[in-house]
């Protein structure tokens, strides 16, 4: 089925041809006509399936069909969890709107940078706003924009929005939107919290679920290498050099680990930089740009990079620390093997993370053979040396939560009383 059969204008079709989009993906084929009809949509498909174009194209078509007004009003609001995804979605919308008869103004707003330029940019209004929740509310509080005219709300990577603690902000934003509006939820996964939110907001939504078997299966070779936790950096350096990787995205659990691993790689004459949430936005942009231009060979990132980063032809992803959840595993490895390219996803598995990796395999219905690299064979068993803390890499369920610590303190206090 060609894009021309989905009800899109010649201007949008021209932009699609220029971007090399020859035929719609499964999620686009199902979602675009429904959104053009004004229906609420819940779209579930894997990373790299074309979800952004699935909502951007019909929103642009609706905007082009709407009568022009003297002043720009926000007609579409797209909420995203991270700065990087905001920038990526904004760029995609602008490129698709390139040939529309009337210029579409897309405002991309996010935190981590000065609010003043964003306020100045909004003085003349905007047709569409792509935003992270916190900065959107800051701009509203400064009277820089209103979303009372937004006829369409899009939650992109909806599960991540709640994972990152934006629940309260979402509640405030929903209260500022018009009651009668079109709601579009797009995400790779829909955990119970998102299902509950969708049930409370959406009116007779069209549910679109694109299983991996229906869409083009990403060509990702998954490997699991057994190695002692203390030798992971040495193994990473060996693999980068011996396997000739041009670029590799390495995931770690903490910003401290990102800094340390990147520093050790640089000392081995490997061009590497850390990437985490406490870097300035300018630095984060520079790291991504250098990575895309192949100036950097390795980027060592926390999960802030798991979504919203689209590096063309990224050959390798390495889980230096295992992700905290099976869902995060999917998003991490989804950074490679995109747009028909092949890729490799490697996980370092030590004695004390083996059980967690088996859980990831179970939940993802995977079976990844364990392998060892000569010279890096593990010697540790599942038992940590007496008195030594286990290295859990931030694995969910192993690191004590605040509640766990409070319970332990209460138990100690009770024991002292007894």
Beta-carbon contacts of residue 171 (< 8 Å; ≥ 6 apart): none
Instruction: Please state the rounded mean pLDDT for residues 4-21.
Output: 91
DSSP structure class, residue 65: H
**CATH 3.40.50.300 domain span(s) along the chain:** 3-210, 219-371
Res 231: pLDDT: 96
**Percent of the residues in the chain that have a pLDDT greater than 70, as a whole number:** 86
pTM of the model: 0.62
CATH class of residue range 3-210: alpha beta
* pLDDT for position 222: 94
Residue 77: predicted pLDDT: 97
79 contacts 54 by C-beta, under 8 angstroms:
no
The answer on pLDDT for 397 being more than 50 is no
pLDDT of residue 311: 78
Cα–Cα distance between 195 and 202 in angstroms, integer? 10
Phi, psi for 35 (deg, rounded to 5): -65, -40
List, for residues 121-130, the tens digit of each pLDDT value: 999 999 999 9
pLDDT score of 188 more than 80: no
Mean pLDDT (the chain) is 85
Answer whether CATH 3.40.1350.10 is correct for domain 219-371: no
CA distance 316 to 298: 10
pLDDT band at 404 (very low <50, low <70, confident <90, very high): low
Q: State pLDDT tens for residues 89-140.
A: 999 999 999 999 999 999 999 988 899 999 999 999 999 999 999 999 999 9
CA separation for the pair 118, 112 (Å, rounded): 12
pLDDT of residue 306: 55
Rounded CA-CA distance 74/128 in Å is: 5
- Whether 77 contacts 131, CB under 8 Å: yes
- Residue 163's Cβ-side half-sphere holds a number of Cα atoms within 13 Å equal to 20
Spatial contact of 298 and 240, defined as CB atoms under 8 Å apart: yes
Averaged over 388-407, what is the pLDDT?
A: 48
């Amino acid at each position: 089925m060609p894009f021309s059969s989905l009800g899109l204008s010649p201007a949008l079709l021209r932009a699609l041809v220029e971007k090399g989009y020859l035929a719609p993906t499964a999620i686009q084929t199902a979602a675009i006509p429904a959104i053009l009809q004004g229906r609420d949509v819940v779209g579930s498909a894997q990373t790299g399936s074309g979800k952004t174009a699935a909502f951007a194209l019909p929103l642009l078509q609706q905007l082009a069909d709407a009568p022009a007004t003297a002043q720009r009003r926000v007609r579409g609001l797209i909420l995203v969890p991270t700065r990087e995804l905001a920038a990526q979605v904004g760029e995609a919308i602008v490129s698709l709107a390139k040939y529309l008869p009337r210029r579409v103004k897309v405002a991309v707003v996010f935190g981590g940078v000065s609010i003043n330029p964003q306020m100045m940019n909004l003085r003349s209004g905007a047709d569409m706003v792509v935003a992270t929740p916190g900065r959107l509310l800051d701009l509203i509080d400064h009277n820089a924009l209103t979303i009372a005219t937004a006829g369409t709300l899009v939650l992109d990577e909806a599960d991540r929005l709640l994972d990152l603690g934006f629940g309260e902000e979402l509640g405030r934003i929903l209260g500022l939107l018009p009651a009668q509006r079109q709601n579009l939820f797009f995400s790779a996964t829909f955990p119970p919290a998102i299902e509950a939110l969708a049930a409370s907001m959406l009116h007779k939504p069209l549910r679109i679920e694109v299983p991996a078997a229906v869409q083009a299966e990403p060509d990702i070779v998954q490997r699991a290498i057994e190695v002692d936790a203390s030798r992971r950096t040495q193994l990473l350096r060996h693999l980068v050099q011996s396997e000739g990787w041009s670029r590799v995205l390495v995931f770690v659990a903490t910003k401290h680990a990102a800094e340390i691993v990147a520093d050790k790689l640089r000392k081995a004459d490997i061009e590497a930089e850390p990437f985490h949430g406490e870097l300035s936005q300018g630095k984060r942009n520079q790291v991504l740009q250098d990575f895309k231009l192949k100036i950097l060979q390795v980027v060592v990132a926390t999960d802030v990079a798991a979504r919203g980063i689209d590096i063309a032809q990224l050959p390798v992803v390495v889980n230096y620390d295992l992700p905290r959840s099976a869902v995060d595993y999917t998003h991490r490895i989804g950074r490679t093997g995109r747009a028909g390219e092949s890729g490799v996803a490697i996980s370092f598995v030590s004695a004390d993370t083996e059980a967690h990796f088996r859980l990831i395999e179970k939940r993802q219905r995977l079976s990844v053979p364990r392998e060892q690299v000569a010279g890096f064979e593990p010697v540790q068993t599942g038992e940590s040396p007496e008195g030594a803390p286990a290295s859990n890499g931030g694995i969910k369920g192993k690191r004590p939560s605040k509640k766990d610590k409070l319970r332990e303190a209460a138990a100690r206090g009770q024991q002292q009383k007894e």
